[in-house]
A and B are shown apart, each in its own frame.
Chain A
Amino acid sequence: MAANRFSSRSPGGSVGGDRTLGWWAGSSLRPVIYGLLIVGALVQVYPIFFLLMNTLKTDTQILNTPFRLPTSFSMAPFIDVWTGDRTGMFFGRYFFNSVIVLAATLVLMLAISCLCGYAMARGQFPGSGTLHQALLLSLAVPAHALAIPLYFFIGSLGLRNSLFGLTLVYAALGAPFTIILMRAYFMHMPVELEEAARIDGCGRLGVFLRIVLPISRGPIAGMAIININWIWSELFFSLILMNKADVRTLPLAIALYKPAPMTVETVLGLQYAAMALATIPVLILFFLFQRQIASGMTMGAFK
């Protein structure tokens, strides 16, 4: 699997310092390239800095002196959006809704995907090839094309406005990709350990649960990490399926939160605080798992 080549390589670890020596040395392009990189990096980072900074400013400060740093640090805007007393939008609740949907989706999706991927890698059964083809084809289906029947189907199950209903939809949307990658991983896993356990009288499921899953913790965690991002950000199905205020997920609540500026002292500041609430966990995650995220994203694109 191509992915292994990249996940085992720490970015940059294997490159000798000599590579940099010839890089446009003495060329007039060199300052241009550095200039582009530095300006580009600022353009990428400044809006995020702007977002975080604005959580601590009043509306007047945000609008009239956008470049000035906040004068004081206070948790008040975060507490305000979290409790929702002043905004009428209970972001604490939406945050937990998002966390619940994320966790449940990951558990469900990974469980069914590992089972299915393992069977496709190890088992010989009629229909296995068809299943693989169908999964590959399903990757080219835009989720929007499923929305209308899904809306009515989930409704007929009584799962509209239910976090569980949204979880089922997300698990289905993420499963094909996860199954395909887990299958590829299991196919390259040495089979000896499992055969030994089989001879010792362990059933298929026993082998899977006691041998295969424990040694696959790494790839499973990797699949979780690359799926976290889209589940945390998903808007379309949340917008369609969650019509009641108390079941909104974080992206939906932010999309629906439209403060009119200059009505109260800090309305915009609160909007920024809500946005920071959705962003900060992702940033923490990024700095903790930078390498895994990069290799996971890479793995997806190499398939």
Chain B
Amino acid sequence: MATLNSRQAVGTAAGNRFMRKLRNALPWYLFIAPATLLLLTLMAYPLFDTLRLSLFKWGGLGPQTFVGVKNFSKLFGDEIFWRALGNSFIFAIVVPFFTVSIGLFLGVAISRRLKGWQVYRIAFFIPVMMSGVVVATLWANMFEFNHGLFNTVLRSIGLDGLAQNWLGDRNVALISVMLVPIWQSVGFPMIVLLAAIEGIPQEMHDAATMDGVNEWQRIWGLIVPLIKPVLASITMLSIIGAMKVFDIVLVMTKGGPAFSTQVLGYYLFETAFRSGYFGYGSAIAVVMFAVVFAIAYAYVRGVRIESVEY
């Protein structure tokens, strides 16, 4: 942009260059100003303030007392916290495992144009569009012990023994709750993987056909290796999404019974906004941030290493 071809007036050239650069840059700073301002005040500042608050004891009003890492040492002795952390990890493993593998199966089936593929694509995608609260309320009603759909069906076909207190039994509740995000979000990996599979050039399929591969070999030898980066990215997105689960727990169980469905997001909410321990809540937020950030970072590093290998 601002290139000086000749070096006349050496003394002022540097100053001129700087002024011209600034003049060129100024409009761009005005362009980025609104977004930067909003993100600095509503994202960067709160993030650092969370880190700061995690070192304080604070009830929301009155003075904040510096306590160092006491919140964290208390956290590591807090049984409910370990429960919440463990459940969040269970969520982050189980839910993506099912959504991504079912999504892959659906993506492959639909890309192969099985009869009725348009119907499957729509049927599996609709729940993705619904709001988490609605889905959770709907399933909570279906899981209800006395009159819910599941128990009514089981009892009407004589399987009373299988009727469960789906959300009230501490051995069953976590499984019931995890079914809901699986049901709701299988369509998301499906639609993304479908696009990736359709992006595979027809010639590669033709070449595989010439080689006389069977369908099983086509899936594992051709399709899956070619969509691997997308598969990795959708898995990471699903893991992070599952780590942040909140709506479903709030609506369906509030973390109960006996903390069997407690997760980080909900424990943070309860500690800070229900019990008023904002310093301790910030410590939970810091742990949650660290976990999600570490997963994302590991993914980014993993992808970079992988791309070097090729």
Contacts and interface: CB of A to CB of B under 8 A. Distances in A.
Nearest to B105: A36
B126 A175 contact: no
A43 interface: yes
B178 interface: no
Contacts of A145: 47, 50, 285-286, 288-289, 292
A232 interface: yes
Nearest to B205: A19
Contact of A283 (B43, B106, B129): B129
A251 B133 contact: yes
A111 interface: yes
Q: In the complex, which range does the number of interface residues on chain A fall in?
A: 35 or more
B191 interface: yes
Contacts, number: 306
Given A146-B43, A204-B27, A139 B127 contact: no
A124 B130 contact: no
A149 B52 CA distance: 10
Interface of A: 5-6, 9, 11-12, 14-17, 19-20, 22-24, 27, 33-34, 36-38, 40-41, 43-45, 47-48, 50-51, 62-64, 66, 111-113, 115-116, 118-120, 122-126, 128, 131, 134-135, 138-153, 168-169, 171-173, 175-176, 179, 203-205, 208, 229, 232-233, 235-236, 239-240, 250-252, 254-255, 261, 268, 271, 275, 278-279, 282-283, 285-286, 290, 293-295, 297-298, 300-303
B4 interface: no
Nearest to B292: A142
Contact of B123 (A9, A41, A146, A150): A41
B126 A149 contact: no
Nearest to A145: B289
Given A236-B269, A268-B141, A297 B43 contact: no
Contacts of B79: none
Interface string B36-51: 1011011111110110
Interface residues of B, number: 104
Contacts of B130: 48, 233, 279, 282
B133 A254 contact: yes
Contact of B32 (A116, A271, A286): A116
B146 to A, nearest CB: 8
Given A11-B194, A279-B131, A297-B191, A148 B113 contact: no
Interface stretch (B69-77, B158-166, B167-175, B246-254): B246-254
Given A51-B138, A147-B268, A271-B137, A142 B38 contact: no
A295 B289 CA distance: 29
B209 interface: yes
B137 A255 contact: yes
A47 B142 contact: yes
Interface string B276-301: 00100110011011001100110000
B152 interface: yes
B219 to A, nearest CB: 10
B193 to A, nearest CB: 9
